[in-house]
Amino acid sequence: MRTTFFGLEIGRSALQAQQRALDVTGHNIANANAPGYTRQDAVLTATTPFAMPGFNKPGTPGQVGTGVKVTEIRRLRDAFIDIQIRTEAKSTGFWEAKQDALRKLEVIVNEPSDAGLRTVMDQFWAGLQELSKNPDSKSVRAVVRQRGIALADTFNHLSRQLTELQVDTDSNLRIKVDETNNIAKQVASLNDQIIKIENTGDKANDLRDKRDLLVDQLSRIINMEAVEEKNGGLTLAISGRVLVEGKNNNAISAVSVPPAGYADIQWAADGTAVMIKSGSMKSLLDVRDIIVNDYIGYIDTLANTLATQINALHSAGRVLNGVGASGIDFFEPAPPVVISAANISVSAAVLASENNIAAATNASAPGDGSNALLMAQLKHSNILAGGTMDDYFRGVAGQLGVDSQEATRMVDNQTILEAELQNRRQALSGVNLDEEMTNMIRFQHGYNAAARVVTVMDEMIDTIVNRLGLVGR
C-alpha cells in the first residue's frame, strides 16, 4: 500500500539521480583535454512502478511511478572506429620510422653537394688528368696522392656512418621491444583491475580509457590484434600468439646474434621468432637488415670497382724513372682481401713516396703521362652496371631520393587518414564543452525541481501531522 512518505521517496531518488548526472558531467568537463578520455553518460531509468500485478494489488486504478535511478554510467565509444584507427596506426608507425631512417641516409650520402663523394671522386679524376700533363711534377704527384687519400677517407667515412646508422637502428629496435613489454604489463594489470570491478556490476570506464590508450600506442609499434573477452579483459596477440591474456602477459626479448650482435626478436618463453609484419618495429628491421645493408653494398661495389680498375692500370704502369712495370697497387688492401668502402686506403708504397705513382707506360719516354691519362679516362668508362662509376653513384643517390619522397608521401597520406578517423572518434567520444554546459544546466534544473518536490511533500506532511491535529482539538 502506498505510504504517506511515498512522494518523499520519489523526490529523494530524483535528487540522487540528478546529482549523479551532474557528477558525470563535471567529470567530463574536468577531462575535456585529457588524452584518451572517452565521454561518459549517466543513463537514467524509471524505477519499478507501484504496484505490480498480483493478488495483493491495491484496488486503486493504474500504476504509480516510484522515481528514477542511474542504471549505468556508459562510455560513448565505437569499437569499429577503434579497430580502424589501430589498423591504420600500424601503417603510420611503419612509414614514420622508414621516413626517419631515409632522412638520416640522405644526410649521410649528402648528394648532390660540394662535399659529397661525387665531388671527391671528380677531384681525384681531375688530379690524374693534371698528372697526365705534368708527370714529372712532384707537386702534381703529391696532389694526386692527397686526393687519393681524401677519396679513401670519404669511402671510409661513408661506410662508418652507414654502420653506425645500423647500430642506432638496432638500439631503437631494442627500445621498441622494451616499450612493447612495458605496455603489455600495464594492459595485464589494467585487465586484472577491470575484471574485478566489472564482476561487481560496475563499469570501469576510466580504467578502460587508460587501457585503450595503451593499445593505441602499441598498435603503432607492432602488428597486434585485440579481442575483448566477456569478463571485460582484453586479449592481445601478435600474429596469432598471445601477448596479453587476462592478468598475464608473455614477454618478447631482443637477443643479440653474432657476428654483428644485432637483435633478433624472440618470445622470451621459448626463443621462437616473433612474426613482425607491420608497425615501427617492422620498419626498423627492414632499415637495419635490408635498406642500410643495400646502401653499404652499393658503396662497397663502387669502392671495389674503382680500386680494382685503378690498381690494374697502376700496377702495369711505370713509376717515375722506372724501367719496368711497377707492380704497385695504388689502393690497398691487396688480394685475397676484398677492397670495400670500409677498408680502402692508399697503398703504403704510394704513401712512402709520390714517385711511386705509375703515371707512365713507356719508361724510355721522358714526361710520359699516358698511364695517368688511362686512369683518368676511367671516369668516362662504362664499367659498372652498364654505365660509368659516376652514373652508378648518381643512380644510388637518385633512388634514395625517390624512396625518401615515397615515405614522406605515405606518411602524409596516413596522417590525413588517421586525422579523419580521429575526428570521427571525437565526434562520438570527445567532450564537447558546449554540450556539457547544456547538460549541466539541464541537470541543475532537474535537481532544483526535485528539491521543490521534496519541499512540497514536506509541507503536505506538515499539514497532516501538525495542522490537522490542531483542528481535531
Could you read off the pLDDT tens digit of each residue along the chain, which spans 473 residues?
Answer: 566 678 888 999 999 999 999 999 999 999 999 999 999 999 999 998 876 555 566 656 667 888 999 999 999 999 999 999 999 999 999 999 999 999 999 999 988 888 889 999 999 999 999 999 999 999 999 999 999 999 999 999 999 999 999 999 999 999 999 999 999 999 999 999 999 999 998 899 999 999 999 999 999 999 999 999 999 999 999 999 999 999 999 999 999 999 889 999 999 999 999 999 999 999 999 999 999 999 999 999 999 999 999 999 999 999 987 777 778 999 999 889 999 999 999 999 999 999 999 999 876 566 889 999 999 999 999 999 889 999 999 999 999 999 999 999 999 999 999 999 999 999 999 999 999 999 999 999 999 999 999 999 888 888 877 766 555 55
Query: What are the cell numbers at 171?
Result: 638500439
Distance from C-alpha of 187 to C-alpha of 18, rounded to nearest angstrom: 34
Distance from C-alpha of 455 to C-alpha of 458, rounded to nearest angstrom: 5
Please say whether the beta carbons of 121 and 365 come within 8 A: no
Query: What are the cell numbers at 173?
Result: 629496435
Distance from C-alpha of 144 to C-alpha of 139, rounded to nearest angstrom: 9
Distance from C-alpha of 324 to C-alpha of 321, rounded to nearest angstrom: 9
304: helix, coil or strand?
A: helix
Tell me the sheet residues that pair with 254.
265
Distance from C-alpha of 367 to C-alpha of 166, rounded to nearest angstrom: 48
Per DSSP, helices labelled H in 2-78 are 6-30
Residue 74 phi, psi (nearest 5)? -105, 150
Distance from C-alpha of 371 to C-alpha of 131, rounded to nearest angstrom: 9
pLDDT score of 473 = 52
Amino acid at 335: P
- Cα-trace Rg, the chain: 39
Distance from C-alpha of 101 to C-alpha of 294, rounded to nearest angstrom: 13
Q: Which long-range contacts (CB under 8 A, 24 or more apart) does 429-436 make?
A: 429/38, 429/39, 429/75, 429/76, 429/77, 429/78, 430/39, 431/28, 431/29, 431/31, 431/32, 431/37, 431/39, 432/39, 433/29, 433/32, 436/25, 436/28, 436/29, 436/32
pLDDT score of 3 = 66
Please say whether the beta carbons of 328 and 356 come within 8 A: yes
> What is the reported pTM?
0.87
- Rounded to 5, what percent of the chain is helix, strand, coil? 60, 10, 25
- Return the closest-CA partner of residue 265 out of 93, 274, 239: 274
pLDDT score of 464 = 79
Q: How many C-beta neighbours within 10 Å does residue 66 have?
A: 17
pLDDT score of 2 = 60
DSSP letter at 73 equals E
Where does 271-318 show beta strands of DSSP type E? Answer: none
